[in-house]
Structure 1
Amino acid sequence: MPLSSIQAAFEQRFQHKPLVVRAPGRVNLIGEHTDYNGGFVLPAAINREIFFAVGLNNTTQIRLYSFDQQEAYETENTAIQPSQIHWANYLLGVVAQFEKRGISVPGFDCVFGGNIPIGAGLSSSAAVECGLAYALNSLLNSGLERMDLARMSQLAEHEYAGVQCGIMDQFASLFGKAGHVVRLDCRSLEYAYFPFDSERYQLVLCNSGVKHSLASSEYNTRRQECERGVAILQKYYPEVKSLRDATLAQLEEHRTELGDVVWRRCSYVVEENLRVESACQSLNAGDLQAFGQQMYGSHAGLRDKYEVSCPELDVLVELAQGFPGVLGSRMMGGGFGGCTINMVETGQVEAFVQHATQGYQERLGLPLETYQTTIVAGVSPVEVAAS
């Protein structure tokens, strides 16, 4: 969907010139289920994005239009509250966060739409929140930092969409950098960039087509199992505030008391944090083969120890393993469906997509949707030609 359609729809509906902003979706290369355990993640912004046309309208009306849904929503700027219209809540939640910080939001018009596939785990919701937060910050000259916008967007999702997400998705959409992945410390929010050769390697996403029906209940269970592990370790090691602080030796020492399930969950998280560290060292050394091996290790841990994979995701990783030009593959996201992320040499991308599509059909009788992505910069204004 071209950016020009969003701008044209805005000018046709509202008869004035907008600020135009692009907000990318994200992938996470490695570091899964580490965020709520105070650990490390390694996301990147990708060239699937939501475009926004936003302008102040000199009234008290907030007028929103979803280009993809072809649906409008209007409200007074003094009456912001969650609505029955699901997509509007992500935007209204952002407005509410500005108000909570004492920044009064006047009437504005907004048209948005994009090409991030919904339900594929690429964080379309975070892109929607971050894009509007960035646009309003610019239009109102609020002077907020990008980290403020990330936190506000996260709270918008908590309070208006009812999803208790970590901050990684919003952070990645705002802090993405072309040709780099970014390691985020989910405890301190410190971050560092690492080079990724986007010309030699592409990130190909294979969508299992399985919706995360188990994800929310099992996600909560995993969090509780990790918390139980921390509570047991704290009796012996008071410095262990989260699994980020735990060692494999400590887990081994108390394996009987932890019990098999909690031990496996905790050892996966500790190992995954170590994998993120190793993966970053591999990037600095330009050793993408070693990085790919960490991705495979991550998938094996998610499958066997954390038990959040599913047969469809496992088949997709098996299809990637051993195929020429594929350096690494793993399930991405909460689990029980969604996508695998595959690091593929650019020259082998088409052959890999054909191989995976055919193999998925042969083994499971299922069609496969794939997305070829490159790493791009985070949320930014777009220079548009005068229409």
Structure 2
Amino acid sequence: MSASAIAAAFQRIFSTVPLVVRAPGRVNLIGEHTDYNGGFVLPAAVDKEIYFAVALNGLPVVRLYSHDKDERHEFETTQLQPGPILWANYLTGVVAGFQQQGIAVPGFDCVFGGNVPIGAGLSSSAAVECGLALALNTLLQAGLSRMELARLSQQAEHTHAGVQCGIMDQFASLFGKAGQVVLLDCRSLEYAYFPFDTTTCRIVLCNSGVKHSLASSEYNSRRQECELGVAVLRQYYPQVRSLRDATLAQLDAHQPELGDIVYRRCRYVVEENQRVVLACQHLSEKDMVAFGQLMYASHAGLRNQYEVSCAELDLLVAAARPLPGVYGARMMGGGFGGCTINLVATEAVDEFCRLMTAQYQQQLGRPLEIYCTTIVGGVEVEPSLVLP
């Protein structure tokens, strides 16, 4: 699905010329479930993207069309409550976010579609939110910064999709840079870019085919377990505002009070934050072997301590590990399905894809979708399709 195809579909349906926006999905090299704990993440925007065609319509009604689902939805600009159509809720939440900022949103038409796999852990939801947010910010000349758009989009997911996500996904979609990964401090929102050379090492995603839903109770329960751990630690260490501030020694000292489950959840987050900091050092040194070992450790923690992996993801990581040219592999995203992210030497990618596909088919009797990704820039207006 291309930008021009979405623009053409819009013109067929609504007979006007739209503003067209590209919104990328994201990968996260390391730092999973740390964002809502005030920690560190290392994401990048990739060339799996959703395109938006948007134009004001002069009506008090928003008319949406999901090109991929071939579904339509309309709502009045005064009726912004979540409804039964999940994909529409993300967009309704963005409109509500603008209005909460005191920015009146008139009626508009929107057609969107793309190639971000749904439920694969590439954060299609954040791409949907951020794409519309930038389009409305542009059309309304609202003047919101990219960070304000990220926060607005994150809040849309909280209020209208019921997912208490951190800010990483929306940040990565809006702040991505071609050929760069970005270290984000999810507490201070300070960030730094690190070059990532995809000519020598490719980011290859293996889709387990297991659909996950971040709106499931499991995701929010992990956040609640972390908050419970912080509440216990704060009784003894008032400076601990989030697990970002906690140490392994503090967790060990209060393990009985925390209980087994909360202790393991908290230990994973503290260790994962340490891994992100180390990973950036290895990236600066171009030591992909050491970087990859941290990815394997991350997956082990997600599987055993945080318990958000599944049999298919574990199989994919185990299958990748001994293959030639593989530096590292782990599950990526919220968990319970979706993709593994693999760092593979460029010359080994074709053989990697062949062997992984064969193993998945042999062991599970299922085809394996594989995506070789390129790191791209964040959400932007398509320059060749700007309104005259």
TM-score normalised by the chain length of structure 1: 0.94
Matched, 1:12 2:18: no
CA positional deviation for 1:57: 2.4
CA contact (8 A) 1:215 1:335 kept: no
CA positional deviation for 1:386: 9.4
> 3-state SS of the aligned residue for 1:384?
helix
Q: What does 1:135-284 correspond to in 2, within 5 Å? A: 135-212=135-212, 216-284=216-284
Matched, 1:99 2:103: no
CA positional deviation for 1:256: 3.9
Question: Which residue type is aligned with residue 239 of structure 1?
Answer: Q
Change (3 A) 1:303 1:75: closer
CA positional deviation for 1:237: 2.0
> Match for residue 81 of structure 1?
81
CA positional deviation for 1:307: 2.3
> Match for residue 111 of structure 1?
111
Q: What does 1:33-52 correspond to in 2, within 5 Å? A: 33-52=33-52
**Distance in 1 of aligned mates of 2:224 and 2:80:** 34
Greater CA drift, 309-318 or 363-372: 363-372
Greater CA drift, 128-137 or 354-363: 354-363
**Distance in 1 of aligned mates of 2:295 and 2:252:** 24
**Distance in 1 of aligned mates of 2:312 and 2:386:** 47
CA contact (8 A) 1:215 1:334 kept: no
CA contact (8 A) 2:119 2:213 kept: no
Matched, 1:31 2:49: no
Task: Give a deviation string over 1:67-113, Cα, whole Å, max 9, x none.
Answer: 11222223333444334333222212111111111111122221111
> 3-state SS of the aligned residue for 2:206?
strand
> 3-state SS of the aligned residue for 1:165?
coil
Question: Which residue type is aligned with residue 195 of structure 2?
Answer: P
CA contact (8 A) 1:10 1:18 kept: yes
> 3-state SS of the aligned residue for 1:118?
coil
**Distance in 1 of aligned mates of 2:74 and 2:261:** 49
Change (3 A) 1:208 1:325: same
**Distance in 2 of aligned mates of 1:212 and 1:104:** 35
CA positional deviation for 1:315: 1.1
CA contact (8 A) 1:206 1:316 kept: yes
> Match for residue 351 of structure 2?
351
> Match for residue 130 of structure 2?
130
Question: Which residue type is aligned with residue 154 of structure 1?
Answer: Q
Change (3 A) 1:269 1:78: closer
Change (3 A) 1:385 1:145: closer
CA positional deviation for 1:348: 1.4
Question: Which residue type is aligned with residue 26 of structure 2?
Answer: R
Greater CA drift, 137-146 or 76-85: 76-85
Number of corresponding residues: 387
CA contact (8 A) 1:20 1:384 kept: no
**Distance in 1 of aligned mates of 2:385 and 2:223:** 49
Q: Unaligned 5+ residue runs, structure 2?
A: none
**Distance in 1 of aligned mates of 2:81 and 2:236:** 47
Question: Which residue type is aligned with residue 113 of structure 1?
Answer: G
TM-score normalised by the chain length of structure 2: 0.94
Question: Which residue type is aligned with residue 190 of structure 2?
Answer: E
Task: Give a deviation string over 1:258-290, Cα, whole Å, max 9, x none.
Answer: 344333222211111000000011112222221
Task: Give a deviation string over 1:26-60, Cα, whole Å, max 9, x none.
Answer: 11111112122211111111100000111122333
**Distance in 1 of aligned mates of 2:56 and 2:364:** 51
**Distance in 2 of aligned mates of 1:33 and 1:79:** 33
> 3-state SS of the aligned residue for 1:163?
coil
Matched, 1:299 2:318: no
> Match for residue 320 of structure 1?
320
CA contact (8 A) 2:163 2:220 kept: no
Change (3 A) 1:164 1:227: closer
**Distance in 1 of aligned mates of 2:158 and 2:358:** 40
**Distance in 1 of aligned mates of 2:261 and 2:66:** 44
CA contact (8 A) 2:326 2:344 kept: yes
> Match for residue 370 of structure 1?
370
**Distance in 1 of aligned mates of 2:56 and 2:4:** 20
